[in-house]
Structure 1
Amino acid sequence: MKKILLIIFTILIYSNNFSQEHKSIHELDREAHKHLLLEKSARENVSAEIVPLNKNVTKNLSKSVFGYLPYWEYANRADESFNFDLLTHIALFDFQASSTGAISEPVNPAWPWTDLINKAHNSGTKIIMVITNFDGNSIHSIITGPTPRWIFMNRVKSLIKENSFDGVNIDFESLNTADRGDLIIEFMQELSDTVHNISPDLEVSYAAPAVNWGGWNFNGLAQSCDYLFVMGYDFYGSWSSTTGPTAPLSGGTYNVSNTINTQYGTLSTFYPEKLILGVPYFGPHWETANTNEGSAINKFVTSVRFKDAQPFSETYGIKWSTFFKNSWYTYSTGSTVNQVWYDDSSSMSLKYDLAISKKLKGVGMWALGYDGARKELWNLLEEKFVIPVGVEEEKNVPTDFALEQNYPNPFNPTTTIKYSIAANTKENFQIVQLNVYDVIGEKVAILVNEIKSSGNYEVNFDASRLTSGIYFYRLSYGNNSLSRKMLLIK
């Protein structure tokens, strides 16, 4: 009986520890580095013109790899340790938006970061502008005020053209609850239209929270832009009462698996190409009551970066939490007990496996440079996402694998669905599945379930027996899958 009560008590502690919104690591790290704007001398930059993205370079990667690069890491020349072959996107953090819609460039190091941009573009890596605001009232002004909104959109266009950016990532946090639904969706849709009018190749994305604490419409938000960067961290931090990892894969009510499978369940099931899973290159350090996992916390010390945590873990001995599926270590300084939880290559590997198994668009990290000159995390990216030479590239959405929008749509009661199957060098034939699902994910029709060779196909769907509403149809073939939405109106 005592053992059962202890288990229940432990679960309650873990479940309730992450139960409200807090400042994200993006905001906290920026606050911690404000002094750089005054004290850090500008990094020397080249005077050469910015070159556009070299589209002739093909990344030998099965997923997108999207890394945030904060200005303080650029100032420290972190990019000198980058493996650009393993990065599809570098997101420059940050361009700050004010309540008037004005957007300021990074003050120091001196803008533009021409050397970095050209190095990335020459290697085929896209450069994304990250626009930030962490104040709910300021964000409300930007997304609802006609004048601030107009100023914002035009400034975005100017910055993209002036710097040959390949897209924009919006990192608006602490939104008022009332602004998290239609208002931010309408704003992002206008931004997407504005940016895509410059070029359809440009990308628009949003940095989205791990948990919907109220008001968010993640499905609508994803449809209003090209994809979401899901900040899959900050589950534990300075606000916590017991120790645990910033990005637990399992354990408790809220964790990374819950984020992908439940919080973003519809998207990860039907539109996985809309999601990038963000992982942490950092972890919390506390002074604790004891050396046990889940110990009570006496004091939050700092956020430790991988480049510092990894060598300390090798000194003090790495521990593994089967509850959280995460690495950590503990040590004492005099009578003070310390615990540090962080992701090493073992725990990070499991998160990448989740992204792969769910066929997400890719993975990303906060933040590039936090691993210093160490190679463990670069090696892991190579292990998980580099396609071996001589093996056909397998992507979720190859250019010759397609699922078209049904026609007519809306329809009553019949419609036609066209799809294309890519050639496969390893097998001439594979099983193709085309199924229809209702809004809660229940399979309501099997349209195709047979072996097919590469080619173009179409199938007629008769929904006479179904009620009016939204339905999803999903095509699966080997490692590829695509989904679309259709509307039945009777």
Structure 2
Amino acid sequence: MKRKLAGAIKIIILILIFLSALFLFVYNSKITNTGFPRKILSPMGNSFSIMSLLKSRHVPKKIIYGYLPYWSIPDTKYIQLDKLTDIAYFGVYLNEDGTFMDKLEDNTAEPGLLAWHENEALDELVARAKSAGVRVSLTVISHNDEVSDKFLDCKECWANFITNVEKEMDSKKIRDLNLNFEYVDFTKKETAAKYSEFVSFTNTELDKKYGGSLVVVSTFADSLVKDRVTDINSLGKVADMIFIMGYDFHRPDSDKAGPVAPIDGKGVYSEYDVRTMLNDYVAVMPPSKIILGVPYYGYNWVVKQGEPNAERIPGDDDIGYSQSQTYAKIMDTILEIKPELKWDDLGKSSYFTYLSPETGSIREVYFENDKSLEVKYQLINEYNLGGVGMWAIGYDGGYQELWELLAKYFIK
């Protein structure tokens, strides 16, 4: 009886193998007969095998931390969760009493909190991320100096904040937090000390409830050389990780066009650069607690001449304005205009100039692409940093090369 049963099982297995082979033969024949490349028609590619579906997810070698702004939720379809460890939703805005802003000045709903509460696509992404082992964080934002000052001066408001932020985190069954306090003006050391104390308080309270939440604090690149609210010497001790916003060394209102995140060039065309910044940071805190934030965007300036680091001219309605542009928008421009791509060897940044088809003005674009980001990723490994962060996922649209670069340096 056992022999007959074993024989029957073997026959069934052989039949299944035959049927699978027949299906794949027919499928491949249909693809071949269309006249289109198989890579375009099949998301599985040429190396697809049924057994590969059973393999476990490759564990990233470092933190891969992507900000997701609420305005990029429509682009979540492009997110490759297997190349992320963390998604930080950006975000909800803080009131001075520790509550979160739910109305704008015109009495319409505040979009960040509204999306957190009601956006189905965001809910679906959070569910998929958790299933894939990707942490989801809520970003709490305070970009109003007066609000930040009043909040930091009110320790009763800190307790109120903990109650409210735990409620929001519990609504999505998450336990991780990102804090993004940015002052327009420089701050006093007393204010920075209060912020560090608040971060310590928050981290302790969340750990009490969740038993090990990840609290990441975003910091300006120049926090160690200018009076910012983010005092790295103390924050490096009380935060779980620091996300260095390693960009905006040039901005749309800069006198000249230049790299958004130059590797070198301090004293040449910028006050600071990424390499000097990293040297300053690792001198005062463990490299393993540092996430280097990189820009998935660039700046498009109206300039006098089509030369490197060209002088910006004021924009107007006739010639256009200098502005920020996402990686996807810049790549669309490159495909349309077909400019000559150039390389800033000092800043290790790509750039190009072109005549605007709409206004006829000369424009110059400095941006990050896979070539410039590769240099930064090499630095992350060289300095043995904790990871890489992106502002922002979704900014690359459907382009694949930046995801592939993350996999090359931090997963494969």
- Summarize the Cα distance change of 1:341–1:182 in structure 2 as closer, same or farther, 3 Å threshold: same
Contact persistence 1:66–1:364 (CA under 8 A): yes
Gaps spanning 5+ residues in structure 2: where?
1-55, 103-111, 315-320
Aligned-partner Cα distance in 1 for 2:186–2:174: 30
Aligned-partner Cα distance in 1 for 2:341–2:151: 46
Normalized per residue, the structure richer in strand is 1
Aligned-partner Cα distance in 2 for 1:257–1:165: 35
Indicate whether 1:302 and 2:323 are aligned.
Answer: yes
- Summarize the Cα distance change of 1:320–1:180 in structure 2 as closer, same or farther, 3 Å threshold: farther
Query: What is the identity, as a one-letter code, of the residue corresponding to 1:199?
Result: Y
- C-alpha displacement at 1:155, in angstroms? 1.1
Q: 2:341 aligns with which of 314, 318, 331?
A: 318
**Larger displacement relative to structure 2 (161-170 or 322-331):** 161-170
Contact persistence 1:69–1:93 (CA under 8 A): yes
Contact persistence 1:61–1:385 (CA under 8 A): yes
Structure-1 residue corresponding to 2:381: 356
Structure-1 residue corresponding to 2:301: 286
Aligned-partner Cα distance in 1 for 2:395–2:191: 31
Contact persistence 2:206–2:212 (CA under 8 A): no
Structure-2 residue corresponding to 1:177: 187
Q: 2:351 aligns with which of 319, 328, 332?
A: 328
Q: Secondary structure at the match of 2:211?
A: coil
C-alpha offsets along residues 37-93 of structure 1, whole Å, 9 cap, x if unaligned? xxxxxxxxxxxxxxxxxxxx765211110000011111x2x1111110001000001
Residue identity (%): 26
Higher-RCO chain (CA-CA 8 Å, sequence separation at least 6): 2
Contact persistence 2:259–2:367 (CA under 8 A): yes
C-alpha offsets along residues 324-383 of structure 1, whole Å, 9 cap, x if unaligned? 110011101365211011011000100111111101110011011000000010011111
Contact persistence 2:149–2:191 (CA under 8 A): no
Structure-2 residue corresponding to 1:103: 100
Give 4+ residue runs of structure 1 displaced > 3 Å after superposition: 107-110
- C-alpha displacement at 1:104, in angstroms? 4.3
Contact persistence 1:59–1:124 (CA under 8 A): no
Q: Secondary structure at the match of 2:283?
A: helix
After TM superposition, list the pairs within 5 Å mapping 1:146-185 onto structure 2: 146-174=155-183, 177-178=187-188, 179-185=190-196
Query: What is the identity, as a one-letter code, of the residue corresponding to 1:109?
Result: A
Aligned-partner Cα distance in 1 for 2:165–2:114: 20
Q: 1:337 aligns with which of 359, 362, 381?
A: 362
Contact persistence 1:140–1:176 (CA under 8 A): no
Structure-2 residue corresponding to 1:384: 409
**TM-score (normalizing by structure 2):** 0.76
After TM superposition, list the pairs within 5 Å mapping 1:78-227 onto structure 2: 78-104=75-101, 106-109=112-115, 111-112=117-118, 113-174=122-183, 177-178=187-188, 179-212=190-223, 213-214=226-227, 216-227=230-241
- C-alpha displacement at 1:180, in angstroms? 4.5
C-alpha offsets along residues 268-312 of structure 1, whole Å, 9 cap, x if unaligned? xx5111100000000110110101111110134211111121243
After TM superposition, list the pairs within 5 Å mapping 1:394-433 onto structure 2: none
Aligned-partner Cα distance in 2 for 1:310–1:58: 30
Structure-2 residue corresponding to 1:62: 61
C-alpha offsets along residues 193-226 of structure 1, whole Å, 9 cap, x if unaligned? 0111112331111110000211552021121110
The structure number with the bigger radius of gyration is: 2
Contact persistence 2:60–2:410 (CA under 8 A): yes
Aligned-partner Cα distance in 1 for 2:155–2:61: 41
Query: What is the identity, as a one-letter code, of the residue corresponding to 2:411?
Result: V
Aligned-partner Cα distance in 1 for 2:191–2:220: 11
C-alpha offsets along residues 74-119 of structure 1, whole Å, 9 cap, x if unaligned? 1x2x111111000100000111111111024734436253211101
- Summarize the Cα distance change of 1:310–1:142 in structure 2 as closer, same or farther, 3 Å threshold: same
- Summarize the Cα distance change of 1:342–1:84 in structure 2 as closer, same or farther, 3 Å threshold: same
Indicate whether 1:233 and 2:250 are aligned.
Answer: no
Aligned-partner Cα distance in 2 for 1:386–1:140: 41
- C-alpha displacement at 1:385, in angstroms? 0.9
Aligned-partner Cα distance in 2 for 1:104–1:193: 24
Aligned-partner Cα distance in 1 for 2:155–2:326: 41
Aligned-partner Cα distance in 2 for 1:338–1:239: 14
Q: Secondary structure at the match of 2:72?
A: helix
Contact persistence 2:374–2:405 (CA under 8 A): yes
Structure-2 residue corresponding to 1:73: 72
Structure-2 residue corresponding to 1:256: 274
Gaps spanning 5+ residues in structure 1: where?
1-56, 388-490
Contact persistence 2:92–2:113 (CA under 8 A): no
Query: What is the identity, as a one-letter code, of the residue corresponding to 2:256?
Result: T
Structure-2 residue corresponding to 1:8: none
Contact persistence 2:221–2:277 (CA under 8 A): yes
- Summarize the Cα distance change of 1:59–1:228 in structure 2 as closer, same or farther, 3 Å threshold: farther
Contact persistence 1:331–1:337 (CA under 8 A): yes
Contact persistence 1:71–1:108 (CA under 8 A): no
C-alpha offsets along residues 26-46 of structure 1, whole Å, 9 cap, x if unaligned? xxxxxxxxxxxxxxxxxxxxx
